[in-house]
Amino acid sequence: MRFFKFVTGISLLALAFLSNAQSNPQWVQMVTNDQLSVRVVLLNDTQCPKVSVDNVPTAMHLRAAKVVDFPAVCELLVSRDTRSIKIKQQALPTLPSVVDRIAILGDTGCRINKINAQACNDAQAWPLRELSASIGAQTPDIILHVGDYFYRETPCPEGDKGCKGSPSGYNWDTWNADWFAPANSLFQSSVIALSRGNHEECGRAQNGWSRYLSPWAYPKAGQACAEMEKPYILKLKWVNYIMFDSSSGQDDRTSEPQLALYKKAIAQLKIDKDSTNIFLTHRPMWTYNKIKSTYYYGNLTQQIAFKNLLPKRTLFVSGHAHYLQVLDMQTDYDQVIIGNSGTELVKVGNTTQKNVDINKHMANFVYSRSGFGYGILTESSKTLKFYKQNGAHTGECIWLSDKQHPSLICQ
């Protein structure tokens, strides 16, 4: 009997260990050339698994080999019209024939740097896991992330219980803690499309970005880090989603080479002037907030480079600023900021300010909301609803995109 209890105890410990061991992260993301990319990080295997694509066994290829700080990742590109994707009998998300409900989140990592230490161990202070589960429960057709996944750049300060035990630095353990493990609910629920944030720019977490998340092929040996990846378009029925990399550069100044680069990148997309577009990029063209004595107005390069360059029916959706904000501009492109999905927040209050001067550009109103959360855009009704991390509804806006001068109505 004692031997049986001993063996049973060992078995339970083994089961507990196995249940806590992380399986290979696997997901489906929408990428360039209107394709889906199936990706698997090899934590527990040494070879890429086979994928059943519409019931046809298909081999994956090695996207990036294992190195000292990062495990290998496998990839398979398939058509966006694929209806069934399985790995070892586990079904992965695909796109529905009509994409209508779109979840949007941004700035999700837990901030630890030389100045701040967010309480990553506190689900209220860093709610990404709950927020991810809440988005999954909304059953969106696709999930869009506007950038900044990686924030644990320095070790947790000694004696700080809020982040005690947290990994740090540019390696897999930190990427896993900041994004892959807490975002597992997202991977299981929907296809995702990802923007690059300034935390993933060259000199920061670009290795993890290009290896695991970039929509482009992994760079060849010796190839320099791309300061700006090429933009591309996702066509989702009524709306073009222009995916634009604004990760590098500064917000309060610009240069002629930077302006020329942005203009050339947009020109190469050959966007139909009569199309309806959502411009998805990390840095917002417009924002309005005062921190201490400094006002923040957005990204100067975009403000100058994109003036009258894009179709009138273009709405900018971004992160970077750690709050929720909607700006209905009088003569410029309207702006939505969803940068409140986990990273330590910047206070803006719950306000609607009218006739706001944003560095000599007028906004009919600036709608700001505090607290963690995300958005759900329904394309057919042009309604953008905002939610807290627990799924509680906090407000909504309607984008009147069919008018000669598109505008927003928020409540």
Whether pLDDT at 403 is above 90? no
As a whole-number percent, the residues of the chain with pLDDT over 90 amount to: 87
- Residue 38's DSSP bridge partners are 28, 76
Region for 359 from its dihedrals, namely left if φ exceeds 0, alpha if ψ lies in -120 to 50, beta otherwise: left
Whether pLDDT at 137 is above 70? yes
Q: Tell me: the pLDDT tens digits for 204-218? A: 999 999 999 999 999
Q: What does the angle CA 200 – CA 196 – CA 374 come to, to the nearest 5 degrees?
A: 110
Q: What local confidence, expressed as pLDDT, does residue 223 receive?
A: 92
Q: What local confidence, expressed as pLDDT, does residue 2 receive?
A: 42
For the segment 127-134, the average pLDDT, to the nearest whole number, is: 98
Whether pLDDT at 238 is above 90? no
Q: Tell me: the pLDDT tens digits for 345-372? A: 999 989 999 999 999 999 999 999 999 9
Whether pLDDT at 373 is above 90? yes
3-state secondary structure (DSSP) of residue 403 = coil
Q: What local confidence, expressed as pLDDT, does residue 404 receive?
A: 73
Distance CA 84, CA 369 (A): 39
Whether pLDDT at 308 is above 80? yes
**Cβ contact 232:183 at 8 Å:** no
For all residues of the chain together, what is the average pLDDT? Answer: 93
Whether pLDDT at 99 is above 80? yes
First to last CA, the chain: 67
For the segment 326-330, the average pLDDT, to the nearest whole number, is: 97
Q: What local confidence, expressed as pLDDT, does residue 96 receive?
A: 96
Q: Model confidence at 21, in pLDDT bands (50, 70, 90)?
A: low
Q: What local confidence, expressed as pLDDT, does residue 18 receive?
A: 37
For the segment 69-84, the average pLDDT, to the nearest whole number, is: 97
Distance CA 280, CA 215 (A): 14
As a whole-number percent, the residues of the chain with pLDDT over 70 amount to: 95
Q: What does the angle CA 342 – CA 383 – CA 349 come to, to the nearest 5 degrees?
A: 45
Q: Tell me: the pLDDT tens digits for 22-43? A: 799 999 999 999 999 999 999 9
Whether pLDDT at 196 is above 60? yes
